[in-house]
Amino acid sequence: MFLRTHYDAARSGAVWLERPGRGRLWVAGADRLSYLQGLLTNDTRTLGPGRGCYAAYLTPQGRMIADMRLYDMDDGLLMTLPASVAAAVRDRLDSLVFSEDVRVEDRTAALAQLGLHGPTAAAVAERALGAPGAVGPLAAFHHRRLPFGDTTVVVAAADELGGGLDLFVEAPHAAALHAALGAAGAVAAGAEVAEVLRVEAGVPEFGVDMDEETIPLEAGIEARAISFTKGCYVGQEVIVRVLHRGQGRVVRHLVGLTIGDVGPSVSAVPAAGATLRVESRDVGRITSAVHSPALDHVIALGYVHRDFAEPGTRLVVAQGGAALSAVVTKTPFVPNVEW
């Protein structure tokens, strides 16, 4: 259930939430970074302890197997990715290890992941962990390992919900961390609030706004996920061909949409899959839609044909017998949290 008080806490203070949709893999061994360098889209060789990045794993045809966040630590690399594909990615990565010193483990059950979001997230984390000044502003995907009782918590800068932190702790200690965050001033929020924050931030989610048929250039994640200076990786040939021979032109683009009424129809949140039209032509579809309390408006993410992807372009959402207006809108809809 969406609770406005929880949303307001995320915008003015801090909320914590569980991340059941995320899987966690652990990649260990001396060759882990060079091994991943040839498989993933981003430059893993430039990582080092305390640093991280966003990346994608592609098929040879340039389509997505998964997107992921990578956190390099002293003793291994933590990879977070959609839980729905974690086991398959683990098996796939493991099958490609030959003579390299690399071990891939699925730690989804063993390691809990919490999100901590809002302008006071860093201060709340410091109070909860009894570590004043230890978190502070972190660069994207940078992280620190801090003591918590007789274990440790990894605190990492998050990007999925428009800013904040991801906290990782051994599963048996998750309840204690929940309690500590609550005592430090964070409000427990649910998945509905997280979804609103994500769409307001304009961040696509794999399995919702991206899938196994998506090329990263269509979803607009290339600036964050792809290194254009590294060596070869799986799917690179397709990406380079589109960028250089096709001048980066793909048939469709993921865009932000501000939704409103047409005529007497009642304002509504369109369902995923709702058709986007220009006159009688189908030009795209909705992938995610929410009501934004910050804007007091319905907003959405969706794919449209490249001819209709410019901000300001007017479309119509066809859903059942109703028609809603839609305007292509630059994302993020709501500025990312500064903390």
Shared-domain flag, residues 153 and 29: yes
For residue 215, the model assigns a pLDDT of 97
Query: What are the φ and ψ backbone dihedral angles of 242, each rounded to 5 degrees?
Result: -65, -40
For residue 322, the model assigns a pLDDT of 74
What's the CATH code of the domain at 98? 3.30.1360.120
Query: What are the φ and ψ backbone dihedral angles of 292, each rounded to 5 degrees?
Result: -90, 115
Shared-domain flag, residues 172 and 46: yes
Total domains in the chain come to 2
Q: How many CB atoms lie within 10 A of CB 336?
A: 15
Per-residue DSSP letter, 114: E
For residue 20, the model assigns a pLDDT of 92
Q: Name residues whose C-beta falls within 8 Å of residue 123's C-beta, 6 or more positions apart in sequence.
A: 14
Q: Name residues whose C-beta falls within 8 Å of residue 264's C-beta, 6 or more positions apart in sequence.
A: none
For residue 336, the model assigns a pLDDT of 75
Shared-domain flag, residues 285 and 250: yes
For residue 263, the model assigns a pLDDT of 45
For residue 295, the model assigns a pLDDT of 92
49 lies in a domain?
yes
Per-residue DSSP letter, 231: -
CA distance 71 to 174: 20
Expressed as residue numbers, the domain containing 192 is 4-201
Closest listed residue to residue 208, CA positions, set 69, 140, 292, 303: 303
Pull the structure tokens for residue 247.
């001048």
Shared-domain flag, residues 35 and 123: yes
148 lies in a domain?
yes
Confidence of residue 262 (pLDDT cuts 50, 70, 90): low
Shared-domain flag, residues 169 and 25: yes
Cβ–Cβ < 8 Å for 222, 33: no
334 lies in a domain?
no
For residue 266, the model assigns a pLDDT of 44
Q: Would residue 44 be called left, alpha or beta, if left means φ above 0 and alpha means ψ between -120 and 50 degrees?
A: alpha
CA distance 94 to 96: 5
CA distance 194 to 153: 22
For residue 157, the model assigns a pLDDT of 95
Q: How high does pLDDT run on average in the chain?
A: 93
The model's pLDDT over 268-291, given as tens digits with 9 standing for 90+, comes to 899 999 999 999 899 999 999 999
Shared-domain flag, residues 249 and 114: no
Confidence of residue 209 (pLDDT cuts 50, 70, 90): very high
The model's pLDDT over 132-165, given as tens digits with 9 standing for 90+, comes to 999 988 888 999 999 999 999 999 999 888 889 9
Positive or negative, the CA dihedral 311, 306, 275, 206 is negative
For residue 137, the model assigns a pLDDT of 84
Q: Which of 22-31, 121-130, 164-173, 314-323 has the lowest mean pLDDT?
A: 314-323
Percent above pLDDT 90 for the chain: 86
Q: Name residues whose C-beta falls within 8 Å of residue 138's C-beta, 6 or more positions apart in sequence.
A: 122, 144, 155, 156, 157, 165
The model's pLDDT over 214-254, given as tens digits with 9 standing for 90+, comes to 999 999 999 999 999 998 999 999 999 998 876 668 999 99
33 lies in a domain?
yes
Tell me the C-alpha to C-alpha distance, in Å, between residue 114 and each of 46, 206, 275, 307: 27, 19, 35, 40
Shared-domain flag, residues 172 and 83: yes
Cβ–Cβ < 8 Å for 42, 54: yes
What's the CATH code of the domain at 252? 2.40.30.110
